[in-house]
Amino acid sequence: MGRALEEARCAAEAGEVPVGAILLDAAGEAIGSGRNAREADPDPTAHAEVVAIRAAARRRGDRVLDGCTLVVTLEPCAMCAGVILAARVPRVVFGAWDEKAGAVGSVYDLLRDGRLPHPVPEVVAGVRAEECAALLREFFGARR
């Protein structure tokens, strides 16, 4: 989570919502990283998770990221949950809950929705949650 938090801090410094993500392979090696870049790119799909998953898929040369773990500072939204499922990421670790748009247990629970034709990933929530949430509070507090 430390590396994901570093990515989130870099996003905030660039004026982006401070969310960061790291994708680890089965050996624990980082094979993809990302931070929000929706304003910089401009790309509405440039969420940290999507950026990290794209980087890992390119590095692996495969769209299926079995054996990997996605670590992200904020609970993924519905779009990101869909990308996680499409990439077959088997484990997701996140920090802060997203009570407005979260799709991994707070508002929705798309990753564990048995009606979808994808394997159900393991989810570990709340890792360094306060630290992750504090970055977001500081970011949005400075803009209000």
> Which residues form the catalytic set?
49
Annotation-wise, does 47 bind a ligand? yes
Nearest to 75 by CA among 116, 52, 47: 47
Is 68 annotated as contributing to ligand binding? no
Q: Do 5 and 134 meet the contact criterion of CB atoms below 8 Å apart?
A: no
Distances (CA, A) of 31 to 47, 78, 128: 17, 23, 22
Which residues does 29 contact at the CB level (< 8 Å), separation at least 6?
A: none
Q: Which residues have C-beta within 8 Å of that of residue 134, sequence separation ≥ 6?
A: none
118 appears as a binding residue in the annotation = no
Residue numbers in the known binding site are 47, 77, 80
Residue numbers in the known binding site for Zn(2+) are 47, 77, 80
